[in-house]
Amino acid sequence: MKIYITVVLAVLFLAPTLVMAETILVSAPLKGGDNGVVCSCINLTKNPIDVDFIIIRGTTSYSGNVQTISPGTTRHFWPNLITDPSVCHVIRDDGKSVSAKHLKCTFSAVDANGNPTAVIPVDTKFKQ
């Protein structure tokens, strides 16, 4: 009887936290070019979406702060000269999960002239 009560209590208290976990979009690691890296997204919906771009290099993270992406427009975060391998995270500011159906995001290495030399998708879903 104690085991059944424990299982029921665990389901009641843990299930809401599992459901409430938000999904973020994450890129694969990318080595920056001479001018670093840039993370960008275009809004594919009909409503503005507030996102935070976070670029992580080793144990250091760089935040682009919250940016509003209007429908059909692109916003980006381009921190100064990150040439070491890093990853891009895209997080919605309203706590909702990010979906590749709503945002098309890319992570690019940028050369000295500001041109992308490598572009990878930011489309791996990660629950946090």
Q: Does position 26 have pLDDT exceeding 60, yes or no?
A: yes
pLDDT averaged over every residue in the chain: 85
- Greater confidence, 85 or 19? 85
Global pTM value:
0.80
Beta-ladder partners of 126: 24
Instruction: Note the pLDDT of residue 100.
Output: 87
Rounded average pLDDT over 113-121 = 95
Q: Which helix (H) or strand (E) holds 39?
A: strand 37-43
41 contacts 51 by C-beta, under 8 angstroms: yes
Report the topology of domain 22-127. Answer: Hypothetical Protein Tm1070; Chain: A (2.60.290)
